[in-house]
Amino acid sequence: MVGRLGGDEFLVMAPVQNQEAARELARRLLVALSQPLRIEERTVSLGGSIGVLFCAEGACPARDVLRDADLALYEAKRRGKGRIAFFEPVLAEEAARELTLGQALREAIEHQAIGFRGFPIVQLRNGQLFGIELVPWWIDPHGTEHRAEKLARTAERAGIDVALAQRVVTEAIDWLSELPESWAVVLGFPSPALLDQAVTDFLAEQLASRPTHGGRLWLDLPASVVATRGTRDRLASLGRYQIGVLIRDPILTPEGMDPLVDLPRTGIRIPDGFVRSFLVDPRAATLARALVQVARDLAAITLADSIEEFAVYVALARSGCTLGRGPLFGGELDRQRAAAIAPQVSHWRQLVAALAEAELTMVQPAASGQEGQC
């Protein structure tokens, strides 16, 4: 029996002898789904993921069948495209933990308990400060920190990613208002929810009332998110606000490069693994230089992550990489400190010196002649 549950999800119920027979049926279904289809003179390729719940006679309560099958499907999707996953009791335990985690995150959003940290971004050609990457973070009830990609995934699983995206956008607008007008803000929250209609409408409303913010906001998005024409059309609709898009994990195919061609202000993030290995692994250096060259050919910028050593900074700058961020350029900043320091510095060395001086002032003991002070 085959039934549609909604959207692109289907339920197949079939009698099989054992788990291996169930796995073989799932394989055959994946093969059938992967066959190309001819639709209106176009060839369309499909695929899928399959979650399997194997029920021995009387072993599966009817009320749990759909829930457990859905948990298996979610696990298959989590592992990647074209995967098969069987339900195991541990999946139900993980689902219960995620439910608790999602509720805690929901409460954190409602009570504005999401934290934000700024990380300096530097123009590698001249060492001048380009702006700040704004990264949201949250510590769950178990003491585990969730930030950037991890926080985006947690919110998506809990179904509250749009609410969090709106909170993140609000914070980015506040940072733009307090930083110098020459500074940009890169929103380090790679979530598809940033392109939800409600979020883009809210963003457009905020930018429309703040002309000085135009051209200063960049979104950080996975290549898979900006790959669709609909997504790029939505980004293009924000064109008058000159929002830039940094693409992480770019797909180096002609189709994968479409966003860099179609959108007016784009860039490529060079993964931190390439950056850390730039001077010791020729393959990493070659791949990083290839990304830089692709970006230059398409009039896009590049941002190198996790620069720790000055030698790596120099090598990346000589290769033509546009921007960089990492420990070399100073530690994380909250909004108050960033707003206080930013007008006083223009070069990353000045920033590092200012941060060091601020830290020294904070820990310096009171003079011996001033009693009663702490």
Q: What is the pLDDT of residues 170-203, one digit of tens each?
A: 999 999 999 999 999 999 999 999 999 999 999 9
119 touches 355 (CB < 8 A):
no
Q: Residue 265 in contact with residue 242, Cβ under 8 Å?
A: yes
% of the chain exceeding 70 in pLDDT:
94
Residue ranges of domains in the chain: 2-87, 101-360
Superfamily of domain 101-360: EAL domain (3.20.20.450)
Contacts 24+ apart (CB under 8 A), 52-59: 52/19, 52/22, 52/23, 52/26, 52/84, 52/85, 52/86, 52/87, 53/86, 53/87, 54/16, 54/18, 54/19, 54/22, 54/86, 54/87
Q: What's the pLDDT score for residue 361? A: 59
Reported as a single tens digit per residue, the pLDDT across 254-266 is: 777 888 888 889 9
Domain spanning 2-87: which superfamily? Reverse transcriptase/Diguanylate cyclase domain (3.30.70.270)
Query: What's the pLDDT score for residue 364?
Result: 52
pLDDT digits (tens, 9 = 90+) for 31-74: 888 888 887 777 777 788 988 888 877 677 777 888 888 888 87
Spell out the long-range contacts of 341-346 with Cβ–Cβ below 8 A and sequence spacing 24 or more. Answer: 342/129, 342/179, 342/180, 342/183, 343/180, 345/129, 346/128, 346/129
- Token look-up 């609000």 returns 170
> What pLDDT score does 374 carry?
29
Helix (H) / strand (E) element for 301: namely strand 301-304
> In the block, which residue shows the tokens 């055959």?
28
C-alpha 66: how far from chain center? 31
At residue 79, the pLDDT reads: 80
Q: Which two tokens stand for residue 114?
A: 């999401």
Q: By mean pLDDT, which of 89-98, 157-166, 362-371 is the weakest? A: 362-371
C-beta neighbour count of 183 within 10 angstroms: 19
pTM score of the predicted model: 0.75
